Amino acid sequence: MQRLSEADGVSSEEGEVALIMLDCFRKAGLKAEIDGSGNAIAYKSLGKNPLVLGAHMDEIGLMVKHIDDKGFIRFIKIGGIDDRTLINQQVTVRTTKGTLAGVIGSKPPHLLKDEERKAAVDAKSLFIDIGAADAKEAAKMGVEVGNTVTFNTRFRRMGGKMFSGKALDNRIGCYVLLQLAKGLPLNVVLMGTAQEEVSTFGKGAHNAAFTLEPRAFIAVDTSIAGDHPEMRPEEAPVSLGKGPAITMVEAAARGNVASRKLVQKVMDCAKKEKVGFQLEVIDGGATDAASVSNVNGGISSIAVCTPTRYIHSTVGVGHEDDIEAQVKLLKRLIREM
């Protein structure tokens, strides 16, 4: 989990995560390869209309847009990011020459005027300092327009069974997927998907669905846990430690709406395995289940998600018990389907 969380993989640059996935898939005895969209696809044997489980490998982050004369970097956001979370973060810039340490700078509080203190933070007014003397030195260090930028958050254990880190959406899903690799039945595909965070329809999963033609698709993702101060249960009823969320409806039905039959099947598997589960319908946010559901005349899809706190921030928090429960549930689901 630590290795996956600390790997860098902003949408469109999932390579480092994909290599970890391939390595683990192969060690578990599966055939594994990267397809044209950057998905890491693994199976024991592949026939017609397989059952496909997908976990997106990409994370939210930034991308270099402009380097000024003094060597400071302006950037665009890749994926859904709250601008307030960006100020004074440590970041890592990935260049072709290697990675560079950087920070997102800001004006110190001593100098802030009252109206500046109250104003909303706009990512467009923020910049990355990589310690370059000027544009020439920045170029020498290797930074270029189009480099991706990730947050420099170390993975840590918290309390008895919790952990925190960056990119838990969706490296938790990747981790869960890897736990399913050993003893995988025939004609089941495990797929680390690319570019989920950057469009309503996760690009990698959407494209792969055309070639794999799944009989059914299970998105293995993370879900918003609302069990902390400043969140009301009616905003996000899912809690940490109570088992995976079975997402019935995504993005207020603009995303995937799972069939009753499939929802029932997943619930039955949870009950048979005696693990907790939480039913979920969400207003915002869609998973790869939405991306796959409308391919090839419609593919029955559902998302099974690990509850995660502070999603799409630099500090997600997850719970071991939820991962264990989700692995048990999905192993059962694979067997039964």
Cite the active site residues.
196
Interface with Zn ion (CB under 5 A), residue total: 3
Does residue 170 belong to the site contacting Zn ion (CB under 5 A)?
A: yes
Residue number, 79 or 102, with CB nearest to Zn ion: 79
Task: Find the shortest distance in angstroms from Cβ 202 to Zn ion.
Answer: 9
Q: Which of 8, 221, 250, 280 binds Zn ion (CB under 5 A)?
A: 221
The Cα–Cα gap between 198 and 184 comes to: 30
Residue number, 14 or 169, with CB nearest to Zn ion: 169
Residue number, 50 or 316, with CB nearest to Zn ion: 316
Does residue 169 belong to the site contacting Zn ion (CB under 5 A)?
A: yes
Task: Find the shortest distance in angstroms from Cβ 55 to Zn ion.
Answer: 9
The Cα–Cα gap between 99 and 9 comes to: 13
CA atoms in the 13 A half-sphere facing the CB of 141: 23
Task: Find the shortest distance in angstroms from Cβ 145 to Zn ion.
Answer: 27
Residue number, 42 or 282, with CB nearest to Zn ion: 282
Q: Which helix (H) or strand (E) holds 67?
A: strand 61-67
Q: Residue 59: which residues within 8 A CB-CB, separation 6 or more?
A: 8, 9, 10, 11, 79, 150, 166, 167, 169, 170, 171, 197
Measured CA to CA in angstroms, residue 254 lies from 197, 247, 261, 304, 323 at distances of 16, 13, 20, 18, 28
Q: Helix (H, G, I), strand (E, B), or coil: what is residue 34?
A: strand
- Side chain identity, residue 287: T
Task: Find the shortest distance in angstroms from Cβ 221 to Zn ion.
Answer: 5
Q: Which stretch binds Zn ion (CB under 5 A): 131-139, 165-173, 242-250, 259-267?
A: 165-173
Q: What does the binding site for Zn ion look like in residue numbers (CB under 5 A)? A: 169-170, 221
